[in-house]
Amino acid sequence: MPASALLAVALAAVLLAMTGAKAQAQPYPTKPIRLIVPLAAGGSMDIIARGIAQKLTERLGQTVVVDNRPGAGGSIGAELTAHAVPDGYTLMMASASYVTHALMYRAPYHPVRDFAPITQVSAQPYVLVVHPAVPAATAGELITYARSNPGHLNYASSGNGGLIHLTGELFKSMTGVSLVHVPYKGMAAAYPDMLAGQVQLGFPATVSALPHIKSGKLRALAVTSRVRAKILPDLPTLHEAGVPGFDVTQWYGMLAPASTPPIIVELLQREVVALLTQPDVIARMAADGSEPVSSTPRGFATHIKSEFAKWDGVIRQANIRGE
């Protein structure tokens, strides 16, 4: 090969190497990011996701677009995310329900194996409430009364297999009480019977129960989270009230598809955690009864695995089947 041809080949190789290095060094993100919300628009998760998307757009310099993909208990959105290209341009807001749904149904995804956790975003406790006719002023008194009157008390839930139903079953398992589960199509449908005393207790979200607690129509005994809720600071936790280790929250967090490069996961984690300290984000969550929660990708992965193990045990013990 002539010297001129050899020189041309060498120059081409250098240019190719330089182009490749430049492409690899190209900063992320360079195009819009899709944030999948596996539930309908207008709900709690959607509101929080849109607030985060707006803030991330400002911080990253690229548009973060919320893409609502409701259906099948969140499985449609989760499947889309799990099968997306793991390049950081498809993310998902997830909740505790994406774990429980996968345990009760043949979901087209695995909540641990198919995702790269970025960070938990928020947590919202439930509150144990009873009708005033129930002779119990504390969680301990309720447990004692329920043990003495097995099957006498009913508890309401937002539906079979939902997180409130599972919270009631965990409470039964950890206290040894016998309660009758009464499912409704959402807690809004349950409140008339709870207020009338036809159903004696429940574990609703704090923000929805607060007006009834303040009016005295329901008596609050404890919150379900491991730490006290800012919305009800004087109310003990069930852990404090004699059920050691009890800890249930409806949480939201951000996930990416499995195999997303760690450097992208870490960048997103830093940005999301930073915006969770902003007053308007905190206020938006507080309006929903939620509190910001920041975690590392590893810490969030540990939390998801813990949730998987906990609810798997509850579902098996109570023999709960998806409908």
Tokens of 306: 């813990």
The predicted pLDDT at position 322 comes to: 76
Compute the distance between CA of residue 109 and CA of residue 81 in angstroms, rounded to an integer: 9
- CB 249, CB 225: distance < 8 Å: yes
User: What residue spans define the domains of the chain?
Assistant: 33-124+250-318, 127-223
Residue with tokens 């915006």: 275
pTM to 2 decimals? 0.89
Across the chain, which has 323 residues, the per-10-residue mean pLDDT values are 41 40 67 97 93 96 97 93 98 95 91 97 97 98 97 96 96 98 96 98 96 98 96 96 97 98 98 96 91 97 97 95 76
Compute the distance between CA of residue 206 and CA of residue 129 in angstroms, rounded to an integer: 10
Reported as a single tens digit per residue, the pLDDT across 49-80 is: 999 999 999 999 999 999 999 998 899 999 99
- Is-same-fold flag (33-124+250-318; 127-223)? yes
Angle between helices 297-318 and 96-104 (to 10 degrees): 40
Residue with tokens 């997103």: 268
Compute the distance between CA of residue 311 and CA of residue 317 in angstroms, rounded to an integer: 10
Q: Which CATH class is domain 33-124+250-318?
A: alpha beta
The predicted pLDDT at position 25 comes to: 54
Using only C-alpha atoms, the chain has a radius of gyration, in whole angstroms, of 24
The predicted pLDDT at position 17 comes to: 42
- Helix H or strand E segment including 275: helix 262-275
- CB 288, CB 124: distance < 8 Å: yes
> What is the CATH code of the structural domain delimited by 127-223?
3.40.190.10
The predicted pLDDT at position 15 comes to: 38
Task: Find the angle CA(278)-CA(303)-CA(245) to the nearest 5 degrees.
Answer: 105
The predicted pLDDT at position 16 comes to: 39
Compute the distance between CA of residue 124 and CA of residue 223 in angstroms, rounded to an integer: 10
Compute the distance between CA of residue 160 and CA of residue 158 in angstroms, rounded to an integer: 7
Compute the distance between CA of residue 67 and CA of residue 35 in angstroms, rounded to an integer: 6
Distances (CA, A) of 204 to 29, 169, 171, 243: 40, 14, 14, 18
Task: Find the angle CA(78)-CA(278)-CA(45) to the nearest 5 degrees.
Answer: 25
